[in-house]
Amino acid sequence: MTTLIKVEQLISEENKSIITRNLSRILDLRILDIDIINKTISLVYNNPFVLDKAKKELGRVGFSFQNTPYL
């Protein structure tokens, strides 16, 4: 499955690095793109549980988010 997550605090390369570092630790999750201009993260995963882990990790490091419709 592919999803797009909108992250309002995604405003710098430093934020992008933090997100990349923390989400890269989650097995079975692949980051397709992190777009600072549109403040979105595009992810691919096979199991909804993996997406839940990604959301929890984003919250843990201080980023709030909202799901947009699946791609």
DSSP H/E element including 42: strand 40-45
The pTM for the full model equals: 0.88
In the chain, how many domains are there? 1
Average pLDDT score, the chain: 91
Residue 36 near residue 69, CB atoms below 8 Å: no
* For residues 43-71, average pLDDT: 85
Its domain, for residue 41, covers 2-68
What pLDDT does 68 receive?
61
Residue 23, phi then psi, degrees to nearest 5: -75, -25
Q: What is the CATH number of the domain that holds 18?
A: 3.30.70.100
The pLDDT of residue 66: 75
